[in-house]
A and B are shown apart, each in its own frame.
Chain A
Amino acid sequence: MRFYSTCRVFILLGLFFVSLAVSAQRRTISGYVMDAESKETLIGATVVDERSGKGCVSNSYGFYTLTLNPGDVNLQVSYVGYSQQQHSFTLTSDTTLSVSLSTNIQLNEVVVEASRGTVSARSSQMSVVELPVQQIKSIPTLFGEADVLKAIQLLPGVQNGSEGSAGMYVRGGGPDENLLLLDGVPVYNVNHMLGFFSVFNPDALKNVTLYKGSFPARFGGRLSSVVDIRMKEGDMRKYHGNVSIGLISSKLNLEGPVIKDKLSFNVSFRRSYSDLLMKPALWIARMQDPEVGRLKAGYYFYDLNAKINWKISDKDRLYLSFYSGDDGIYFNRKFKEKSNSHYESSSTEKLRWRWGNKVTALRWNRVLSQKLFMDASANYTQYRHNLGMSMIESYKDFQDNTALNNEFSMAYRSGIHDLTGKVDFDYMPVPNHEIRFGGNYTYHRFRPDVQSLKITSDNLQNHSFDTVAGSPSVSAHETALYAEDNMTLGEIFQVNAGLHYSTFTVENRFYHSLQPRLSLSAMLASNMSIKAGYAYMNQYVHLLSNSSLSLPTDLWVPVTAKIEPMKAHQVSLGCFYEIPEWLDVSVEGYYKAMDNLLEYKDGASFFGSSEHWDEKVCMGKGKAYGVELLLQRSFGRTTGWIGYTWAHAKRKFDREGQTINEGKEFPAKYDRRHDVSITVQHKFSERFDLSGTWVFSTGNCGTLGLQYYEGLAGGNYTPTIAALERNNYRLGNYHRLDLSMNFHRKYKHATGTWNVSVYNTYNHNNPFLVFVDYYDKDGKETKVLKQASIFPIIPSVSYSYKF
């Protein structure tokens, strides 16, 4: 019944849009906004007719469409970091106008106003932040590795996990509640090296936008945030490259035309080399102790991003995006021993542990008419985790003429595969309505955990064992339909209203939800607005994790008959103010209520139990509220932002048989009351720029056993046990200053840059964990509380060569 009501709502919305289309005799200007040199399209460029005051913003593919009354038009096209362009003409018929903007050479001379269409005070959208990739690259980071997610963590409303990790906790949500889209395709595992680095190589990226509330209807599937990351398409006219060498990894980026102004490519590759550096150490170990045997061991990660952009015609474009990234740990040991003619023994031990993502998107953009733009795509995304261990032993006794062979192999696999078909439309029938609608279908294949074991042994008596166990693979079907209208109501009000309807079918169970989304904006002055928003979000997949670190063993699992979809209602209210030619200021408050959140039951683990995973978890509620302040400057010689967040995040698991913390409310792990981040970049000259980041936050919550007791005594051992109340203790405050300097040197056709960074410049001992220590004081044992820190001052240096 509810399904048919939903259909009726969509039909009514469709009729409404059709009526708009035939409402007036107007003319439409449409086209792409591009970089003048590379012909790379620009996302979020502002196109405004000065005479009528009507305007729009270029979409994710740089396409804009603006419908106006016939007559004289004075079109201004602007984008951050680019010189503004004006086009004056008389509009008599539908017109195609693609605009190529040039970058500002002298940043202090040209001022770009209204440059950030989706995030400015003039937009109806709130809780959105755009981060220029160049700014991300200049933020000082751990080991000098520029990182998208670490930059996002510096924004108000976004918390990082433990120190140095790339985990994201947005407005009190969990780490699996963030939809990270790479060219519109979800990426499930976004971390390398236990979360110390993210998988997104900034050299391959063009644009990063974070939505943390008041979500437009086109997004769905996660509760807390959407990070929309777009890859560079490649220069249509010239070949460029960039080589970087750092402490942890090296990177190579190449882009250029295959067919000038028709077909371009962009390829980026990054690889760490800790395993290569370990080889000499292993060789020395073998030389010193031959019993070590032939040994190969190491850890590595790599990323490969590639994109092809084919401009088939003025109306059609085809994109092929590809990402592949892996982390790997390997260990190989071969040992052979021969005693003259008596015996010969050999053993081979192998460990292969690999995990990573593969993402592919084939996208077709078509300008169906001056007012209608289509984006259709077929996507594939995969996360897999494979752990394999094997041991082969053989022993031959030449005197007895006997032989023994033992073989043991074990494998653990988990993963998720998604195949998606998607179509989106941008439709601008009249100047005051910007309509988006579309739908998608995703086939999910979950492989939560499969363990296999094979033993063949000649020892004692021949015996073998061969078995496979674990949670069975699960297929699921997810569909979504949406429609949203960004409406301008007179001179003051803007409304973005939309509906997102999604369904999820798994194990003969059908879940669906209709999710209303609403954003309201009222312009109080030409540069000041107040905004309010509401979003209802549903999530059908969960990440099961035993640890606060990002481990490859974390499992993505779907909802089941027992585990219902996670839900969140979020309301937000904010005030936005632009200080012309200088700064944007925003203050936002939010309240988020969450339900069906998942946690492992006490003592449950992903491994070593025959229970289905949904027996190991319990469901509960959460709530989060807070206020965020952001002062951001995105252009000029000095850029950066100051962010402050005051926040609360709580959890309660009190359902029958599913209690955590005895059913009492407890603070979420990353419930931090105050969070401040100051990020500043200043370009002193063409040869030198400096950037700095200072962060301060209230300490994390931790679990500290306040009462100790004796466990079950047995044999000669009585364990002492800590009674734990979840997140009952707050660690000390966290603060840190990072600095980064870039020294540029221009060559004839290239630029070389030395980067010197210092992480935790004043070497503050930031708390990572606390523990009880014992020492002898005047002959009496005394207990004290101690705090451990992990990252002291860490300098790093890297060199990049751009040609």
Chain B
Amino acid sequence: MKNSILYITVVAFATLLLASCEKEIEFKGEQTDPKLVVNCVCTVGEPVVAQLSKSYFFLDPDGNTEAPDATKVQLYVNDNYVGEMIRFEDSLWGKAGGDVLRSPQIKLFRNDYCPKTGDRIKITASASGYDAVEACTSPMPEPAGCVISDFVLTGEPTFESWYDDDGCQSFHYIYKADVMLDVSDPNPGQTDYFVLNVAVEWQGEHQWNANVWAEYSDPVFGNGGPVLGELSENSNRNHSFTDLLFDGKTYKVKVPVNLNLYGYSASDSVSPVLSMRVEHLTKEYYNYLTTVSLQGDEVVGAFAEPVHVFSNVQDGYGIVGGTNVSKAEYLLPLEKPQP
């Protein structure tokens, strides 16, 4: 009898304990209206391309983000009207396997003006039923120094080849290498903002694909603390950093890269180039990148104020920022695999 009472007590207590944690609740707040969304990163020397969409209510199951068809987008440089931005379709836009983007609901607008260092770019957008929106960048930055000072293979490259069901021959190269990258800060005494990207670009026929991972632990590039992360383009982990620890100096960072090159029916003219890109950012773009990478961090989300992703679009959402790209390239020592 005593054992039964003890058993019932333990079960009742465990049930109470486990009944905690989470439950579904009814939303009792105000339902807000959608707004226009403008996203645009202006790059020095390249035409201005803006991405237009709209927001949706958070419990809306459809989550439609397509901007109205009659959305009007205009471009200003240094407060001078440059012209309307024209809607265009990118051939790769929204298509699986494309190189640029995956969301089919975002509309693209373009103006052929190519920003110069020091320009302030302003974009306005309006559509019936929505508040008109506008956003402006701070002056477009100058380029940062970016040099690959050394490239050392950290093991023998591996090579595989096989035939698929159609009889085509496929190849797979795997490289592991340490890349020493020298990054120079162009403005001593001033806060500068950067982001690092790694990619493989192709000279010759584009019959190869590549995946690049760079895993490193570096206090500067890890935003002040050692961060192990992948430098891949399908992640919201961007590697933005400031000149906090190398203001006005040249900083040498070791980036261990892991290269996967694969293709089929290889051409003799293929030669892959490792491209290390250091982008010098405007402050608003840096703010956006740092906050967007923090959003969704579970630890932050659970215990702290949710991260407000930086937006400089008045009466709407999004980011209009600028960047100046410096590129260091290294021709990978690829020998054509023998079938």
Binding site for B on A (CB under 8 A): 162, 389, 408, 410, 451, 453, 455, 457, 459-461, 463, 465, 467, 469, 546-549, 602-603, 605, 607-611, 669, 703-719, 721-724, 726, 728-730, 732, 763, 765, 769-773, 780-789, 791-793
Contacts and interface: CB of A to CB of B under 8 A. Distances in A.
A709 B54 contact: yes
A718 B308 contact: no
Given A547-B305, A712-B319, A780 B61 contact: yes
B295 A721 contact: yes
Interface string B73-108: 000000000000000000000000000111101100
B254 A729 contact: no
17 contacts: A389-B226, A410-B225, A610-B243, A708-B58, A712-B292, A712-B319, A717-B102, A721-B317, A722-B309, A729-B29, A763-B19, A765-B21, A765-B23, A769-B301, A783-B60, A785-B27, A789-B20
B173 interface: no
Contacts of A781: 61
A5 B302 CA distance: 52
Contacts of A463: 180, 252
B319 A711 contact: yes
Nearest to A725: B32
Nearest to B289: A712
B39 A728 contact: no
Interface in B7-37: 13, 16-17, 19-27, 29-32, 34-35, 37
B58 A457 contact: no
Contacts of B22: 786-789
Interface string B45-81: 0000001011111111101010000000000000000
B202 interface: no
B246 to A, nearest CB: 7
Given A704-B29, A710-B105, A782-B61, A602 B310 contact: yes
Contact of A785 (B25, B32, B242): B25
Interface in B235-252: 235-236, 241-247, 251-252
Given A707-B56, A717-B235, A792 B16 contact: yes
Contacts of B178: 459-460
Interface in B188-240: 191, 217, 219, 223-226, 233-236
A737 to B, nearest CB: 13
A709 B53 contact: yes
Contacts of A718: 101-103, 106
A611 B21 contact: no
B17 A793 contact: yes
Given A603-B310, A714-B41, A716-B234, 15 more contacts: A389-B226, A451-B245, A463-B252, A608-B244, A610-B243, A705-B58, A706-B31, A706-B32, A707-B57, A712-B288, A713-B100, A716-B102, A717-B233, A721-B295, A791-B20
Given A548-B304, A708-B63, A713-B102, A723 B55 contact: yes
A786 to B, nearest CB: 5
Nearest to B65: A710
Nearest to B28: A730
A703 B305 contact: yes
Nearest to A609: B242
Given A609-B191, A709-B56, A710-B103, A603 B308 contact: yes
A592 to B, nearest CB: 23
Contacts of B317: 707, 709, 721, 723
Contact of A792 (B19, B100, B245, B307): B19
Contacts of B236: 717, 719
Contacts of B26: 785
Contact of A714 (B13, B233, B252): B233
B118 interface: no
Contacts of B245: 451, 453, 467, 469
B337 interface: no
Contact of B254 (A459, A609, A610, A783): A459
A709 B316 CA distance: 10
B53 A710 contact: yes
Interface string B150-177: 1010000000000000000000000000
A769 B219 CA distance: 33
Contacts of A721: 292, 295, 309, 317
Nearest to B20: A792
B296 to A, nearest CB: 8
A562 B36 CA distance: 36
Nearest to B300: A547
Which has the most chain A C-beta neighbours within 10 Å: B25, B40, B103?
B25
Which has the most chain B C-beta neighbours within 10 Å: A410, A721, A792?
A721
B14 to A, nearest CB: 11
A602 B291 contact: yes
A38 to B, nearest CB: 42
Contacts of A709: 35, 37, 53-56, 65, 317-318
Contacts of B233: 714-717
Nearest to B307: A603
Contacts of B21: 765, 788-789, 792
A463 B30 CA distance: 58
B258 interface: no
B252 A712 contact: no
A709 B58 CA distance: 9
Contact of A707 (B25, B55, B243, B244): B55
A98 B242 CA distance: 67
Contacts of A726: 308
A793 B39 CA distance: 48
A485 B19 CA distance: 58
Contacts of B32: 706-707
A113 B60 CA distance: 64
Nearest to B233: A715
A461 B302 contact: no
Contacts of B65: 709-710
A708 B19 contact: no
Contacts of A549: 303-304
A465 B178 CA distance: 18
Contacts of B254: 457, 459-460
Given A547-B304, A705-B58, A715-B234, A610 B247 contact: yes
A708 B242 contact: no
Contacts of A783: 58-61
Nearest to A724: B308
B291 A603 contact: yes
A705 to B, nearest CB: 6
A712 B238 CA distance: 12
A778 B189 CA distance: 60
A546 B31 CA distance: 29
Contact of A706 (B24, B29, B61, B292): B29
Contact of B59 (A457, A459, A461, A785): A785
A548 B251 contact: no
A669 to B, nearest CB: 8
Contacts of B223: 608
Given A709-B65, A713-B51, A718-B106, A410 B25 contact: no
A718 B290 CA distance: 15
A796 B30 CA distance: 42
Contacts of A546: 304-305
A162 B304 CA distance: 10
Contacts of B309: 603, 711, 721-722, 724
Given A710-B53, A772-B59, A732 B304 contact: no
A684 to B, nearest CB: 24
A609 B244 contact: yes
B51 A610 contact: no
A610 B61 CA distance: 42
B147 to A, nearest CB: 14
Nearest to A763: B16
A723 B308 CA distance: 7
A465 B150 CA distance: 17
B111 interface: no
A786 B302 CA distance: 13
